[in-house]
Chains A and B, each alone.
Chain A
Amino acid sequence: MTVEGTAQRKNARGSSKRTTAKKATSAKKASPAKTRNSGGPEAEQNQLVQLLTPEGKRVEHPDYSIDLSADELRGLYRDMVLTRKFDAEATTLQRQGELGLWASLLGQEAAQIGSGRALRDDDYVFPTYREHGVAWCRGVDPTNLLGMFRGVNHGGWDPNSNNFHLYTIVIGSQTLHATGYAMGVQKDGADSAVIAYFGDGASSQGDVAESFTFSAVYNAPVVFFCQNNQWAISEPTEKQTRVPLYQRARGYGFPGVRVDGNDVLACLAVTKAALERARTGQGPMLIEAFTYRMGAHTTSDDPTKYRADEERAAWEAKDPILRLRTYLEAEGLVDEAYLASIDEESEALGKRVRDAVRAMPDPDDMAIFENVYADGHALVDEERAQFAAYQASFADADAVAEGN
């Protein structure tokens, strides 16, 4: 091949580089979905552990109590507001084309912040792909979460620096990793606990069933935290299970409990108790946080195709942030100035996230060949060299074309 030929071609074929990626999903308007009683039968509702009612009233529970300082309560509020802001910002950034995709946690703040704040630093978290609030509690810089959704990496953080594992896209896989990690903790004689997050849809996966089996058989110090947000893309929980999910645990030989997933205090109390069990050698526990995905499954999804607006409206009345705020205000624990300061902080976070994403560089081409193996591999070395030479041929050709 002649060098000029390549240069010419490269120019002539400018359009062949970077064809714009187009989402293959269409966004047609939906036929109205049937309304479901997503709250479930009343009997099931009553089994919810709740410490803060949707109206913002503090209530007691015989098994799970919690006593928090004013600062701690305000902290939970702040965490939820900032997490929601971060999430909203990411959704906007996706709309603006800065992210390829986003999986919003809107509505699940209490489940994530409550469970996340129950963790000790030495505990280890295995998330799925929507645990932005848990990541926040672990101190993972939120901008790190955006790399994989922007398409510049497949993870974007060192799991060991915050004991927060990478997001897992293949549904349910991480529950086994969490179990194995917990078995390792146990072998080490350490007293930390492990927590695995997953959705109601994931509960159907074989991996999740196997993780239940292993954790029970080995009495592994792992807490299974299922956020039942009622939907797995278009499929309601009834398409995954005919018994309330928390009841599954019994069949494996460990306890399960259903908590009001929109009640941050209950999520905190129950998760603390489960972690404590795990730490003290009493084995695994399943927590089903009964909550709701307020938005679409991801930014590619169109929930109007399969669910009714009224359902969302009913859950709006149970908003986790609003109810804590009502409580804090009624107790005189926050004032206008405090709330304003949180709003200000959240604006600043939004701006930081926007700026960081826009400044996030595309990876170098050669990154394709990085970290494929820990100890190196001759084939990768060969392909890297070939690709580098190929890329360089364009530069050489450009130089010739410019008469250098």
Chain B
Amino acid sequence: MAVFEKITIAKAINESLRASMEADPKVLVMGEDVGKLGGVFRVTDGLQKDFGEERVIDTPLAESGIVGTAIGMALRGYRPVVEIQFDGFVFPAYDQIVTQLAKMHARALGKVKVPVVIRIPYAGGIGAVEHHSESPEALFAHVAGLKIVSPSNSSDAYWMLQQAIAGDDPVIYFEPKRRYHDKSRLDTESIPDPLHKARIARTGSDLTLAAYGPMVKVCQDVANVAAEEGKSLEVVDLRSLSPIDFDTVQSSVQKTGRLVVVHEAPVFFGAGAEIAARITERCFYHLEAPVLRVGGFHSPYPPSRLEDEYLPGLDRVLDAVDRALAY
């Protein structure tokens, strides 16, 4: 197994795009400022220089246009990888994604494929102004026809994007922007897990924490603190939200008897609700406590000076862990 040096998630995504473009001439990168600037987060840095303006396309400032034309190009046999600049700006494209992209394969009796990948830097914690910190994943996961994934480390970022691009279904690839500059080991040689497979990020026996994207690190930190207090927490990195690998969560919960789901998005009607319901159904006789959820409030994402109160941090997750363990 080749073990490479630690690289950032942003760099891993860049390498992944590069590898995909090298492997398949049909792969295109599209979006606002993705060319010369390399994207506002520099995730596409250098790609236009190496692959040219025909394959790394600076688009007009129009999200509906970006996704709509990507659909058309996919119908023509291309594999567009679209960048939406920030989470809050996906909504002008929401109509195209939900009413067209998600349903086209089914409507055409499976005769057409629309392999469009939509990369969205999402979630908060970077001190930004409004519409730059949101977690809209549940709004997409509710829609049949889309796959939703979110990596939490460099190897997953690298592999999951290539898998998304190579697959024939539309995929929304949520990038945890506050982790862009976190470094972790990139393993380019081991055979990656399937795209939808959850990963045990840490093993433990007293309680399961389930998270994805930016919250995986928070949960690992929580597990470290809890370990000092003599509690053994297992951390499941879901990686995929549509579908969700309930089998992995189930076997973890059957072992620990307790589950806390952590995400940044508002708890109300969120991913945690789906997981709590399914796991309760599957593990009713194993559960020692109700499944608890930690997430955002039913409020607009707050101004950045309040985001630390809004976002689940160590304290709020530990509080939920304590409550679950107290049953």
Which residues 1-35 of A sit at the B interface, judged by CB distance below 8 A? 1, 5-6, 9-10, 12-13, 16-19, 21-26, 28, 31, 33
Q: A202, B61: Cβ atoms under 8 Å? A: yes
Check A100–B129 contact: CB distance below 8 A: yes
Interface stretch of the complex, out of B29-37, B109-117, B188-196: B29-37
Complex formed: what's the CA distance from A17 to B128 in Å? 17
Q: Is the CB of A151 within 8 A of B64?
A: no
Contact with A306, one of B37, B306, B315, B326 (Cβ below 8 angstroms): B37
Interface check B126, CB cutoff 8 A: yes
Whether the Cβ atoms of B37 and A149 lie closer than 8 Å is no
Q: A25-B42, A26-B42, A151-B129 are in contact. Are A362 and B60 (CB under 8 A)?
A: no
Could you tell me if A368 and B40 are in contact, using CB atoms closer than 8 angstroms? no
A33 to B313, CA, bound (A): 43
Q: Do residues B303 and A148 form an inter-chain contact, with CB atoms below 8 A?
A: yes
Contacts A154-B303, A206-B62, A372-B298; A234 near B225 (Cβ below 8 A): no
Closest Cβ of chain B to A189, distance in Å, is 34
| Residues A206 and B319 in contact, CB atoms below 8 Å apart | no
User: How far apart sit A369 and B304, CA to CA, in the bound complex (Å)?
Assistant: 15
Secondary structure at chain A's binding surface: helix, strand, loop or mixed?
Answer: loop
Whether, in the assembled complex, B170 has its beta carbon less than 8 Å from a beta carbon of chain A, the answer is no
Which residues of B are found within 8 Å of A362, using beta-carbon distances? 305-306
Q: Which of B91, B309, B310, B315 contacts A16 (CB 8 A)?
A: B315
Q: How far is the CA of A233 from the CA of B318 in the complex (A)?
A: 41
Contact A379–B38 (Cβ < 8 Å): no
Which chain B residues (166-223) contact chain A, with CB distance < 8 Å?
177-178, 180-181, 221
Q: Please pick, from A149, A234, A393, the residue contacting B36 in the complex, using a CB distance under 8 A.
A: A234
Contact A390 B36 (CB under 8 A): no
In the complex, the chain A residue whose C-beta lies closest to that of B302 is A368
A235 with B319, Cβ < 8 A, contacts A17-B313, A24-B181, A148-B130 known: no
Bound complex: CA of A17 vs CA of B65, how far in Å?
Answer: 41
Q: Are B299 and A369 in contact (CB under 8 A)?
A: yes
Q: A152 near B128 (CB under 8 angstroms)? A: no
A13, A204, A390: the one within 8 Å of B314 (CB):
A13
Chain B residues numbered 85-144 whose CB sits less than 8 Å from any CB in chain A: 88-89, 91-92, 121, 125-132
Residue A191 at the B interface, CB < 8 A?
Answer: no
Given contacts A24-B181, A234-B58, 10 further A-B contacts (CB under 8 A): A13-B315, A21-B307, A24-B121, A100-B129, A169-B132, A207-B92, A240-B60, A300-B40, A367-B302, A368-B299
Give me 15 A-to-B residue pairs in the complex whose CB atoms sit less than 8 angstroms apart, sorted by A's number.
A17-B315, A25-B41, A28-B42, A28-B45, A100-B128, A151-B305, A204-B61, A204-B62, A205-B92, A239-B59, A306-B36, A362-B306, A368-B302, A383-B297, A393-B319
| Residue ranges of A at the interface with B (Cβ–Cβ < 8 Å) | 1, 5-6, 9-10, 12-13, 16-19, 21-26, 28, 31, 33, 100-101, 147-154, 169-171, 201-202, 204-207, 232-235, 239-240, 300-301, 305-306, 362-363, 365, 367-369, 372, 377, 379-380, 383, 387, 390, 393-394
